């Protein structure tokens, strides 16, 4: 699957605390008005599913998600931190310099390329756990989007891989989406079941598939940023 200023945690925490203090008296978030104390920035850390591989500009996940949020009147911007071909290790390696001071929350969509490379679930778990630990240190709420292993790796591999996402979400208090492809169809467990929403490679969603994913993911983003109140 072809699934981009470093600040110390102490300095980051001080800056974030100042921002929170500055806006203590601002109006709270409400679903009806979509009013926020300040513009919210969400960083989407992921692979080609986040990057928008194979799609025209404006039809990938992040542009469609930003358009959906704008249509809801939400002052929320999602930054595209997707790198095609990235593994969980690649996402971890660029996390620290990706989380610039304006980032308020994090989306993590990694693991698909780990599966394609047959990496052990323990490796993927360790990398994603390190990402969640860093986010926790920076007091960033996280939306973790899982992946489901295919059955051809064997039942033990699948069980170990599939359970790492819910277990880590519980451990670190992250908001969880069980499966990326479940955003397109909640009954889907692999891309083959939603082929009409996929590109010719059978791995990446087409624009219509992304649209369905966004319709499911958008409300999850609003729930995520409510944690910033």
Question: Under DSSP, is residue 166 helix (H, G, I), strand (E, B) or coil?
Answer: helix
Beta strands across the sheet bearing 76-82:
76-82, 40-46, 105-109, 142-145, 175-177
What residue spans define the domains of the chain?
Answer: 9-226
190: annotated active-site residue:
no
In angstroms, the CA 114 to CA 110 distance is 8
Mean pLDDT of the chain: 86
Among 84, 104, 114, 204, the active-site one is 204
88: annotated active-site residue:
no
In angstroms, the CA 138 to CA 191 distance is 34
For residue 210, give the nearest of 59, 43, 47 by alpha carbon. 59
Give the pLDDT of residue 229: 74
Give the pLDDT of residue 190: 63
pLDDT grade for 26, boundaries at 50, 70 and 90: very low
> Is the pLDDT score of 132 beyond 60?
yes
Give the pLDDT of residue 202: 87
Instruction: State residue 28 phi and psi, 5-degree precision.
Output: -75, 165
> Is the pLDDT score of 21 beyond 60?
no
> Is the pLDDT score of 22 beyond 70?
no
Q: How many CB atoms lie within 10 A of CB 186?
A: 10
CATH fold for domain 9-226: Rossmann fold (3.40.50)
Rounded (10°) angle between helices 61-71 and 207-226: 60
In angstroms, the CA 122 to CA 106 distance is 22
Among 47, 48, 86, 114, the active-site one is 48
Q: How many CB atoms lie within 10 A of CB 171?
A: 12
> Is the pLDDT score of 157 beyond 60?
yes
184: left (phi over 0), alpha (psi -120 to 50) or beta: alpha
Mean pLDDT (whole number) for 136-149? 96
How many degrees, rounded to 5, is the angle at CA 128 between CA 126 and CA 134?
105
176-205: pLDDT as tens digits? 999 999 999 988 766 678 899 999 998 899
Give the pLDDT of residue 192: 72
In angstroms, the CA 62 to CA 77 distance is 9
Among 70, 93, 195, 201, the active-site one is 201
Give the pLDDT of residue 174: 98
């Amino acid at each position: 699957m072809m699934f981009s200023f470093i600040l110390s945690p102490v300095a980051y925490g001080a800056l974030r605390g100042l921002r929170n203090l500055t806006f203590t008296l601002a109006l709270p978030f409400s679903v009806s008005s979509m009013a926020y104390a300040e513009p919210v920035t969400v960083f989407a850390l992921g692979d080609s599913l986040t990057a928008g591989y194979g799609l025209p500009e404006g039809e990938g996940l992040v542009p469609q998600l930003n358009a959906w949020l704008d249509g809801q009147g939400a002052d929320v911007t999602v930054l595209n931190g997707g790198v095609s071909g990235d593994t969980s290790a690649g996402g971890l390696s660029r996390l620290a310099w990706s989380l610039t001071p304006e980032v308020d929350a994090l989306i993590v969509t990694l693991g698909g390329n780990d599966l394609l490379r047959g990496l052990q679930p323990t490796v993927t778990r360790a990398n994603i756990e390190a990402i969640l630990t860093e986010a926790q240190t920076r007091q960033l709420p996280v939306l973790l989007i899982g992946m489901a292993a295919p059955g051809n790796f064997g039942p033990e591999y699948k069980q170990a891989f599939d359970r790492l996402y819910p277990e880590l979400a519980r451990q670190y208090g992250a908001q969880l989406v069980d499966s990326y492809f479940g955003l397109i169809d909640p009954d889907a467990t692999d891309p083959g079941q939603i082929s009409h929403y996929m590109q010719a490679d059978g791995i990446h969603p087409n624009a219509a598939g992304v649209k369905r994913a966004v319709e499911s993911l958008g409300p999850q983003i609003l729930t995520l940023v409510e944690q910033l109140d």
